[in-house]
């Protein structure tokens, strides 16, 4: 048995050896990776939601602070990757898989051209986050959105907020109950349900960014700086129903449909690639025999 085969064998659980069905496990998060994720998520929440709590005379500067947010986001994303590698012992193979999946996701985004919210990249992010885990899932979602923006010419002040939202979307799939608890059809149903709900959540977060800087369709659904939070939230709900419900519904339906139709095959392919890469297995070499 070669050192690589021993590494793959070491990554198997006793149950896998008995059944012959080796289950690739998501990359586990260590304390440094968790701290990096919490930091970048806190910055994102503040960056997106601060206008709701700001005073009427504070001024809204999303279009001006977006470059600063983007400048802070990139090194933090690298920090998540470095922390995950340091905690889990990952190597260049994991980074290579991250790059391949990001390229595929970026290529999928223009297929729907944003028509009625039909964006097929979302179902790939759900499945990838499930297999790779929350840490790499967050980085994958953010990098994929960045690459797709460059590919489609969608670079603008909204891009760092899209990167954060997609990172959270993909990370959430990695935080779902582990594959040892749910397998087969039950797992696909769970991923489809998550994809549908999270697709609406993604649209809601992006609406919050746009609603605070773009005038609404009328005074009844426009953002009023300095008004009580409850009143602004009611207007925001009306804004979402009036402007983006159809788009979010199309995104959710397509994500659910693709997950149920091709999700099983793609999950097997991703887990097979992850298992053969043996990210978390420690390779050892035997001393030469006399």
Decide if 128 is inside a domain.
yes
The span from the CA of 218 to the CA of 47, in Å, is: 25
The better pLDDT of the pair 80, 267 is held by: 267
The span from the CA of 223 to the CA of 235, in Å, is: 7
Tokens 């009328």, residue?
A: 218
Decide if 207 is inside a domain.
yes
Decide if 17 is inside a domain.
no
Q: What pLDDT is stored for residue 38 in this prediction?
A: 87
- Going by pLDDT thresholds of 50, 70 and 90, the confidence category of residue 117 is low
Decide if 282 is inside a domain.
no
Decide if 287 is inside a domain.
no
- Going by pLDDT thresholds of 50, 70 and 90, the confidence category of residue 116 is low
Name the least confident of 1-5, 42-46, 271-275: 1-5
- Going by pLDDT thresholds of 50, 70 and 90, the confidence category of residue 278 is low
pTM to 2 decimal places: 0.78
208 is in which domain, residue-wise? 3-12+31-277
Decide if 20 is inside a domain.
no
Residue range 13-72, pLDDT digits in tens: 444 444 334 445 556 677 877 888 888 888 888 878 877 776 656 555 555 665 666 677
80 touches 256 (CB < 8 A):
no
The span from the CA of 16 to the CA of 121, in Å, is: 31
Decide if 252 is inside a domain.
yes
Q: Domain count of the chain? A: 1
What is the CATH classification number for the domain harbouring 257? 1.10.1760.20
Residue range 207-256, pLDDT digits in tens: 888 887 765 555 678 887 778 888 888 888 988 888 888 888 989 999 99
Q: What pLDDT is stored for residue 20 in this prediction?
A: 37
Q: Is the pLDDT of residue 125 over 90?
A: yes
Whole-Å CA distances, 118 to 62, 122, 153, 176, 235: 26, 9, 18, 24, 26
Q: Is the pLDDT of residue 134 over 70?
A: yes
Q: Is the pLDDT of residue 180 over 80?
A: no
Decide if 26 is inside a domain.
no
Mean predicted lDDT score pLDDT of the chain:
77
Q: What pLDDT is stored for residue 218 in this prediction?
A: 59
């Amino acid at each position: 048995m070669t050192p690589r085969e021993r590494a793959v064998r070491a990554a198997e659980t006793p149950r896998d050896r008995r059944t012959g069905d080796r289950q690739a496990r998501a990359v586990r998060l260590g304390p440094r990776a968790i701290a990096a994720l919490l930091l970048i998520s806190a910055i994102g929440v503040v960056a997106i939601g601060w206008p709701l709590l700001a005073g009427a005379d504070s001024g809204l500067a999303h279009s001006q602070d977006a470059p600063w947010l983007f400048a802070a986001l990139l090194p933090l994303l690298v920090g998540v990757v470095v922390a995950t590698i340091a905690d889990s012992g990952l190597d260049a193979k994991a980074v290579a898989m991250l790059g391949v999946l990001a390229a595929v996701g970026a290529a999928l985004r223009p297929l729907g051209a944003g028509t009625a919210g039909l964006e097929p990249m979302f179902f790939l992010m759900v499945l990838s986050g499930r297999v790779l885990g929350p840490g790499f899932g967050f980085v994958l979602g953010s990098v994929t959105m960045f690459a797709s923006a460059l590919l489609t010419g969608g670079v603008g002040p909204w891009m760092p907020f899209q990167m954060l939202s997609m990172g959270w979307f993909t990370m959430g799939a990695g935080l779902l109950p582990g594959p040892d608890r749910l397998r087969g059809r039950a797992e696909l149903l769970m991923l489809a349900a998550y994809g549908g709900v999270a697709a609406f959540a993604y649209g809601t977060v992006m609406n919050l960014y746009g609603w605070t800087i773009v005038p609404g369709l009328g005074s009844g659904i426009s953002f009023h700086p300095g008004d009580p939070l409850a009143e602004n939230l009611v207007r925001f709900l009306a804004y979402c129903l009036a402007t983006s419900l159809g788009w979010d519904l199309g995104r959710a339906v397509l994500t659910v449909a693709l997950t149920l139709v091709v999700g099983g095959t793609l999950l097997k392919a991703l887990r097979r690639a992850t298992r053969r890469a043996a990210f978390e297995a420690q390779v050892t070499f035997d001393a030469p025999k006399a």
